[in-house]
Every structure is written in C-alpha cells, then in structure tokens.
Structure 1
Amino acid sequence: MTQAAEEPEVRLRKLEKINRALMNRVERSMDFSGNGFSLFQTAILLEGQVSARTGDLKRTLEDLSDAYARLEDARDDAEIAKQNLTSAIEAVSEGFALFNDAEELVMCNAPFRSLLPDIAARLEPGTSFRRIAESFSRSRFLVLDQQKSAEAWCVGRIELFRKPHASFIQQLSGDRWIQVSNKKTGAGATVVFQTDITDIVRGERLRRERELDEQSRLLQATLDHLPQGICMFSRDLRLKAWNHRFVDLLSLPLRLVAPLAGFDRLWDWVSKSVFAFDRAGALRVQEWSRNPSADLDPVELVKSDGTILRVSGNVMPDGGIVVSFADVTDERRASDALREAKETLEQRVEERTAALTREVMERRAIEVELIQARDTAEELTKSKTRFLAAASHDVLQPLNAARIFLSLLSGTGLDARQVHFAGKVDMAFGSVEEVLSTLLDISRYDSGSVEANVVPLSVAEILATLAAEFQPLADQKQLKLRCVPSELFGLSDARLLRQIIQNLVANAVRYTAKGGVLLGARRRGMMISIEVWDTGPGIPEDKRDFIFEEFRRLGQDLPDTPKGAGLGLAIVRRIARLLDHRITVASHVGKGSRFAIELPACAAPTRVIAPQVVTERLPVDLAHFTAIVIENDLAILEGMLELLQEGGMRAIPAVSAGEALETLQSLDKTPDLIIADYHLDQGTGAEAIEALRRAVGHQVPAIVVTADHSAKVQAEIGGSGIAYLRKPIKTGDLFALIHNVIAL
C-alpha cells in the first residue's frame, strides 16, 4: 500500500481518538444537579463537531478509493507494456539478451536461444553471465580456433562483455557465422546482440574465390609467356602451377604433370631420364626441396642430350617453393669460347689488330648478357609486379629489333606480294606494341608510380590539337569531326588529361560507322565538363560499367565490330582516379553515346605560356654526318647500325659509355649525333651522353631511345636537352627526329 493510501487511515484514527476524548470530557463535566440549558448547549456543540469530523472522514475515504483505482490502472498499464516489450523483443530476428548491473540475465528472446540449442535450457533469468559464457564455450555447436581452448575462449568473452562496447565474429557448426556485440547502458545494464551473418560471409568468400580464379588466370598467362620453365609447389610439395616451357625443357610426359602431383615422384623421373649423367646435381636440388629454409643457389644440370639447364629455387612466404629452369647452353658455349679467347689473346693480338675493336665489343656484350641473365634468374619470382615488368621488357626488346629489321627488309627491293606480307607483319607488330604499352601503363597506374602535375590549362588547346590529330582518320571513314570553341580553363595534368580525351575520341571514331563526332566543353557550376559525343551504336545500360574493365569490348563477336585490345577505357578510368576527375556515360542504343570528364574550373592564368611551335625544316643531307650508337643489346645495335648507314650516315657502335669514350679518341672528328639506349648495364643513356658531351666540350645533339615510358624518365631526359624516342622504333619517327635535332 502506498503512502497516499495510508494517510487517510491515520487521519481517521486520529479523529476517532479526538472524538472519544471529547465525549469523555463532556461526560465528566456534566453536572446533573446543574442547569439543563448548559447541558443542552454542550450536546449541540458536540454534535456539530462530530458531524464536521464525520464529513472529513467520508471525503478522505473517497480520496482513498480513487487512489486505489488509479493504482490498479497503473499496474494494468505496466503489465501490458511489459507484455508488448517482450513480444517486440521476441519478434526481432536477431538474438537479444539483457543483463543487469550485477551481470545476471534479465531476459532473452528465442533467436538468442536457438543459435546454440544444446544450452538453451540454461538461459534462465538470474543466471550469471560467467555461467552462460562457460556453457557457450562447451557447446558442441561452437567452432573454436585450432590454437584456442574452451577456457581461453570463455575468459576472452567475459573480458569483451565487461567493455563499454565490443563486437566480434564467431563461427558455428555447419558453416554458420554470427556477429556478437554488446553495449553498456546508462544504468549499468548490458545488452547483447547475436546477428546471423552466414549469407554475408559466404558471399564474401565466393567473391574472393572468383578474384583468386581471375588472378590465377593472369598468373598462368604471365608464366606461359616467360622464356624460362617455371613450376610452383605448395608447402607439402604438391604441384600448383607450371608453364609450357617447363614441360618442354624437361621433356616431361603429361601423365606426370598434373595438379597436386608430388615433387619427389616427378623429380625421380627427371633424375633418371633427363639428368641421368648428372645425378649429383639432381640430388642437390631434391635435398633442397625437402628442407627449403633458404633460396637455392643456381645449379647447372646437363641433360642427356648435352643441353645445359640452370636450375634456381625460391621459397615463397607460405612455405611453398618455386623452381625455374633456363636453357643456358648457348650462354655456356659462349663463356667457354670467351675463356679460350682470353687464354690465347696474346698470341693473336698481331693477327687480329684490325678486328680487335669488334672482338672487344662482342666479349663485353657477352659478359653483360651473362650478368643480366644471372640477375634476371635471381629476381625472377620475387613479386608479381616485377615479374610482369620484366616479362614486358623482355618482349619489347626483341620487338624493337624486329621493327628495325622489318624496316630494313622493306627497302631491299621486295616484290608486291612480299611488300603486302611485310605490311601485315608491321601491322601485327603495331598491335603488339599498342597492347604492351597499354599493359605497362596500367601496371604503372596500379602501382601508384605515376604522379600528376596539376596546373591551370587551356581546354581549347587540348581539344583543338586532338581534333586536328583525328581529322584524317575521320575523313577516311567519311565522318564529320567538329570541335566547339571554348575559352574555359581548368585544373588538371595536361599530359594525362590529353590521354583520357584521346582515348575517348579514338573510341568514338573507331565505333562510329556514319554520322559524326563532336568535341566540346561546358561550365557546370565550379566544374568543367569536357564531352565527346558520337552517333555510334550506343551502349546498353547494363554494360556501362562492363566497358571500363580490362579486355572488354562490346559486340566483339560480331563481324563488323572494329578490332581492339579493350584497354583504352581501362586506362581512362585509372587516370581519372589518379586525377580525381569524374567520368560519366550517357547513351541511347542505336543513336549514340556521350562520354564526359569533369575537372575543377579556374580563372585564366595571368601569363599563359604558349606551346612551342616546331617550324617545318627542310630535310638535312645525312651523308656527311657521324653518329655514335650506344646500345647493350647486340641485335638492336646491329639493326640500328644498318638502319643509319642505309639512311646515309656513318654509324659507330658502342655497348657502354666507357667504350664510347675510348672510341671517341680514335675519331678524326667530333660526332654529329649521339644515340643511346636509356637502360645500359652501367648507368643510363642520359649519363653516357653527358659524359661524351663533356669529353668533346660542347652540346652534341643527342637522342635517348627507351622502352620506359614513365613521366620520370621523360622529365629527366627533357631536362638535359636530349630528344626522346620510344621503343619499339619506327623508321619514319627516327629519321624525322634525327633531322629535327641536327637542324637545331
């Protein structure tokens, strides 16, 4: 009973006590011998007081009755609210439990009990969290880490429960997963949630498996393009990956080369069949594979047919091993010939004085190739990025030599049929060059090695230049190419922004069969939208993200679809991310598309540096000019010499800066031109050119030829006053640049 209900009863008892006292007083004070009128007055007075007190008592009792009625209503409301709260908690799909400040269970819902059915009966109100955690840890539905005991799990769970806020993910049997979180309330209670995230975990696992499959395909494609034989084994020496060169070098039967094939069985067959005359070397490789604590030093093994293979081994981070095989037969023969030449060099000095320079060049080149081959073998499998870069460089070098010799072949009086085939070969090389260059660009953007130089620039200059560049191609396809004039200025990197728009315009012209292409820019608030419109086939809405992926092209199976590698828009997306520019696509199938890139607008700079204008110069007669060519690749060096001599120049070869300086002393005149490869065995081509310039005492015109297209290399070369030419070399570009630098 509440205080409000008790108070009327107390007052009633007091009134009754007062009433009895007054009655006793009246009775004692009556004097029956006195006068009757005073007695009558006293009786009337007492009757009035009793009536007043009785009225107060009735009102008090009525108030008490109302208070009792309100109390019952409040109790009913509280019971209904409690029932509604319980129903609401039971309706929640997540597991829910409430613990008071003494860490005792107050209530929990059915989903909380159902996750671990074998301990559901123990989840009674008043149970301490410690007992519940102990029951959880011993549940047969709980999956513990291999290195964690039930006791350790219980201790850790109690620690997390006592934190203000904690969350963790727990695995259950049957490949189920839950996320458990708890949070303290302001009153000291703790709320625990258990959410079933099985679908999320399985979806994420499937996504990762797909990514691993894609990476595995890329790795296999890379391995298949390597000149070395490569095989990878897991920690328990089971075959995981290999390339075709590995099978060819060891002449392996296909029954032995299968996923999860054991190393020992495969190597036993190789030792007995392939390296039958070199069992000691084969045994060394097998012993290393059984305890690969460190990388295997290269071992040269001799096959039964006399071929020499250099075997190298590397340990992967997960404990697996990578074994590579390189055919070094020609290298070893060259080394033996070099050793023999050194031993008899004194006896042949007088006989070969005239050919001494060439022999020295060949010996040094062979030594450089040996060092390069050794370093390449040691570094081959250290990382996928370097792996891809090395493979791309190895392809670009012979591709450059092939383009040079193809150019020489075209000038040897071929008939019409041969000229046609040579043109087809040149087109094929051009496609390979484009794909390799784009792949290298993608690798550079993904590795973060490209830095943007954001400055105010004129949008009109970039658009006008590109319109002029693509006008001949548009005319060839009978397309109308129009550029809308603009006076806008924006903040971006001129070179990278130009590459984005160039790829967009190239795609527009390529895929538009009739109609035209429009270039323009418009102001959108604080941004500038540079847009490329076309009247091509259009892009379905569900394919607008698809086209920005690598090697993705729409309609590639259709006969009229233009051929391409599908890398242009992948480059566009990477450059846009680097510059923090937004790319948007709008398209209507059958009517055309609009690609737009947004960049911050800015005011026109106070001083705009006009682009350098290259005036057209008359061709220079090269018959009286001498060039020094520095190149450490003998095949490319030979091709460059033939190419320059065919153009009328006198060409002097050198494989390094040191040899070029020695050759310089024997010349009767200062060279008119220096052509150097950027990547030399000792230093760079730019450093070699500077050394020769210091030796002659003036700035000799110079060109650096390189397959490294990074902005860092271009900036270094440009800052030294040296012309820049990209590999693979095109004959027209080479001689145009030679005429330009000589005429300056």
Structure 2
Amino acid sequence: MSHALINPADPPDRQREKLLQIVEVLMRRVEQGTDDGGAAYTQFQRAALLEDEVRERTRDLEHALDLLNTSNARLAEANRDLEAARQNLSDAIETVQEGFALFDAGDVLVMHNSRFGMHMQDVRAALRPGLSFADYVGLVSRSRFLELPPGETAADWAIRRLRRHKDRHVIFNVRMIWDRWVQVSEHRTPNGGTVILQTDVTDIIRNEREERGRLLDDQARLARATLEHLDQGICIFDAAGQLIGWNRRLGLLLEIPLFRFRIGLDFGALLERAAETLTFADGMTVDRLDGWARRAEGAATREPLRFEVRTEAGLVLSVFAEGMPGGGFVMSFSDVTTERAAIAALSRANETLEARVTERTLELEDALAHAERANASRSRFVAAASHDLLQPLSAAKLFIAAVGEDAIDPRARDTLLKAQNALDSVESILGALLDISKLESGKAALAVGPVDLDRMLTPLRDEFTALAAARGLRLVVRPTGGAIVESDAAYLRRILQNLIANAVRYTDRGGVVVGARRRGGALRIEVWDSGPGIAEADQQDIFREFHRLNARASASEGMGLGLTIVERACGLLGHPLDLSSVPGRGTCFRVTVPLAGTRRAPAPSVPQTDGAGQGLAGRIVLLVENDPDLRRALGLVLEGWGAEVIEADTADAADALLSELGILPDAVIADQQLGDGPRGLDFAAGLTGVPALIISADRGEGLAVACARAGVGLMAKPLDLRALRDWLVLAFGPGGIAG
C-alpha cells in the first residue's frame, strides 16, 4: 500500500515526509480503535512491520540521495572542465593569425575567432553560433566589401561558392575592395565538420605583381636587345594587326626611315609603304599577304608563308611570316643577295662543267670501248692458245706413258718421270689460264642449282689424301651431314680444289682440315692449314696473277694462279670470300655459299613424329664396311634413326660376331669390296630370310644383275641417305621385305 501512496517521481525529502504522515495516521488509528477479538494487537503488529519497512525505505532513499549528490558534484566538476576546455580552445583559436571558424556536420557555425570575417565589417555582427553555412555565404555574397568578378551577380557568386563547398578540400583567393585579397581554405574534419581559414595575402599578391612587372620589363629589354642583335629584319604584330615590336635592321633592309615605325602602326599602312619599293616573287602579291595578316583565327590555322622580295637597291630578301599564340604574327626579312648570286654563278659554272663532263665522258667511253676490245682479243687469244696447246701436251703425255719401263735404263726412266711432271705442270698452268680467260671475258656459263656438298668433297678428299701423305701431312675432310647448297657445281669444285691444293702446297708440317659451318641461311666452307701464315700486308697481293709468297725456283709448285681463279669465280657466283691468318700458325680461307633449303638426308637424330624412325626402333642392323670412317659415320646415322647397329669390317668378322652373339640381324648393309675375304654379296646371300643391301662404287651392269638374281638390294656410293632410310622402312614394314 505504501508503494501506491508514494509517487516515485517525488524528491526523496517529499517521499520521506509522506511516509512519516502515513505512519502517524496509522498509529493514531491503532490507539483509538477497539477490537475484542485481538484485532488491536494485529493492527499493532502491522504498524510495527510498516515502521520497519518505512525505516528501510528511508535508508534506501538516503543512500540514493547521497549518490545523487555525488553525481551532481561530478557533473558540476565536468561542466567546469568543459568550460575550461572551451575557454582554452577559444583562447587557442584566438591566437591564430588567420580568421578561423568551425562548422559542425550539419553546416552550423559552432565557434570562430575575432579575425574571422575581419575584412567584411558588415558581416561580422551576424557571425554567431547557430548560423548556417548557406546563410553565411549569402551574407558574404551581399557584402559591400566583396569585389565580384566582372559580369557576375551576388547570387551567381553564392551558387558557385556553395558548389565548391561540396569538395573535401578547397583553396581559393577572394578579391576585396581597395585591391585587397583574402585566401580562403576549407578542410573537412573526421566527423564531417568544416574548418575555414581566412588569410590576408594582399602583400604577397602585390609583391608577385611587382615582381612580374619587373620580370616583364627585363624580358622586354632582353627581347629588344635580342632583336637589335639579329642580322634579320624583324617586325611583330598583335591580333589586331598593329605593330608592337621591330628592330633597326628592318628599316635598313626595307629602305624605310625608322621614324615611320611606331607602336600601333597598322600592318596595311606599313605594307602599302613597303610595296612602293619592293617587287614580290614566288607567287606572292600585296593582296594575298594583306589577307593572310588580317585573319582572326590565330596561329593554329594561319599557315606560315615563305617568299622572296627584291628591293630597288637590288637586294634579295627572304621573307618568313608565321602566326603566334593569341592571333598575332611575326615577319622576318633575311638578306640572301650573296647566296642568290652565288647560286646563279654556280648554275652557270655547272652548265659549263656539265658540257666539259659530257665531252670527257665521250672520250672515256671511246677509250673504254677500245680497252674492252683489246681485252676481249687477249682473252680469245689465251683461250685459243690454251686449247691448242693442251692437245699436243696430252699426246706427249700419252707417248711418254706408252714407253715401257723395261725398254729403258733407270737413268732414262728418271728423266722421263721428270718430263712427265713438267708436262703435268704445264697442263695445269694452261688450264688455269683458260679458266681466268673465261672469267675475265664474262662468258663463263653458269649452271646454278642444288649441289650435294658431301658428294663433292669426297672425291676431293680422295684426290689430295695421297698428295698430302707424300708431304708428310694429314688431310681431314669433315662431312657436312648431307648439306645441299645453291651454286655452280663445276666452279664450286674448282674453288675448293684450288683452296685445298694451295693449303697442301704451302704447308710443311701438321695438316689441312676442310669443314663447313652453318650461318643462318648459308653454309661457310672453311679450309684450315698449319702453314707459315700470311702477313696482313700480303693478304691482298696473294690474289694477283703470278704472285706467290715464298716462291720457289721450280714452276712445278704452281705459277700463282690458283687464288686468282678462286677470287674471280667467287665474285662470279656471288659467294663471299675472306681469309684470316696468323704468321707462323696457319691460314683459314672461307667461302660462304647459300643453302638450297633442303638436305640430302636429315641429321643423325631424327624425331619420331615425322615418320623418320617408324619401324626402325629396336631393329638390329648389321653393318659390314672395311672403311672405318664410312662405317662409323653410317653407324651414327642408323643409330640416330633408332636402330641398334652391330659393326664388322670383313665378312669373316661378321660371321664370327653373329656366332658369338647367337642372333640374326633384322637387316644387313654390306660393302661389296671387303678386302681379300668374301665379297659383300656372297656374305649377304648366305643369310637366308634377312633383308640385305649392297653398297658399292661399282656402277657396272654385272653387279646390278647379280644383286637382282640374289634378291639383294643395291645402292651406289656415295649413298643417298633418304633412299637408304626408305629402304629400311620398307624392309621392316608390314608386308615388306622382312615381313
């Protein structure tokens, strides 16, 4: 009941007062009332309990009152701290030299210092907390201290100012009356408010203006000095076609007194005065030039002009006119009288010189024709003489060879051998002369086509191996892997033959190596020797006719025509020729020949994806060849195709090898000539059921017929590796020879 009688919203003192009144009324009722059945005692108990409850409630109210007093004390202390902080902040912003104002996130003015709005006295009175930013901008736009831009109203300025307020950071200058300037900068705070700073920049702008004025004055003086220093006449006009600059040289060239030039002089008036003494050239007229100068589009569309004029004094002036930014233009006048006179004199001299050159050219053509006729006659004579002399020389060699060795004594035999060698030397020299004659006459018939380089080098190796061995040298000719080049086979062979012969002839010890290197789409054939080398000063002379280094007395060593033939044949074929040499260590000659784009056979390692090794992988091929170099090279090719190769040099060795291994090969490749033992065909025919191929240099019909009867394949040396590979694929394929 006590809770219903007390209003919790009442202050504690009021609630206590109410409780005391309730207790007093209840006690009074207990004392006055009678209760025969013990009701009085019950009421007393209730009054006692109620008093305890009132006492407890009173203690709670007293505790709540103490807490409330403590909170009020703390709130009062916080208010004092807040007021002190506000005062400190106010004092701090007051010390700022610029005008300062803070607007909250709702664009309402919170606080500002006394310098804010100091340039607008009619606005400062309205700057109070609670002022909205829009109202502040409206006040500023209508201030009499604000100098609006030309053509802009106060409303336009306010709209533009509010639009810039949307940016996060804003800095701009505001012009006030009496030529004063204020820089305004706005910055957003983290909670969305806005801080505005106003800085007086009047002195800075005035100083910059003065500095700019001084700079312009200095530039004007510098431009004036530059104009006066130029050897050209210069005149400058603004967009309205009025003169704004010129130099003294202009008056001298145009023959116009300087007092006639003045600032603001119209171009038309100056042109009219100049036209009285000038003659225009290059299609230029007074009207055309005047129309060009009065165009108002500016330099972006005004095309430059270049023409010449001639003065009454005979000066030739080159004129160049060009537009400038802003619509103005500049014209320059250069004195080119001397240059034009020199060009005219040079033209006359050229005409005289051309006549003399024509006359001299005709004389040289006559002399050249005479020399060509003489050279042709000499070449024809050399060719005819060489051919006629080779016939009796060949007959003499045959006669000497027909003399039986038993019919003469040893001394005569030695004499005949020397005569034979002498005739061989003469025949070689005449052949070289005949080659040179063909190359000089330009009548050398070329048959350029694919040339198998290995097939060309193999006979040359066989030809010079014995000669090199006789001189105690070792000749090595490295295979090129079936390279095919574009050249004339006859002339390329003669080039390589002469280079190898020259290397063998001039090398005393060591050896000669012939090889080839691929360089892009070409093959560089190299001939190395370990001879005495060639000094750099002599490297050009060795290609001259009849020139030999360290020449011996005997003509049997050659007459120095080999390298001459090499150089001219390379020039005829278009094959670059060069050499490198180190005296005392040797020489290398190089001939670069274009590749034909195809090869006679693939490289030893052939990818399986193109079918090169299909049917060959894991197959056993027995190779019987008595030439170790050829056997090894062919074995590498077969291994590159995926076959397993077992090698032997004779038929007997092959039989022994097969007996030892206890297997039969899948195919046999055997040379026909295997030394003193059984021939290749006899051996291959004895291996029943094994496909066999005979390789031989014998192109006679008898061997071909024998191989056909025995059911054995035949392939001529040098081998065509593509045909060999096709034979193996056919032999191992389904239904093939081995099937």
Scaled by the length of structure 2, the TM-score of the pair is: 0.39
> Which structure has the larger Rg?
2
Higher RCO (CA-CA < 8 Å; seq separation 6+)? 1
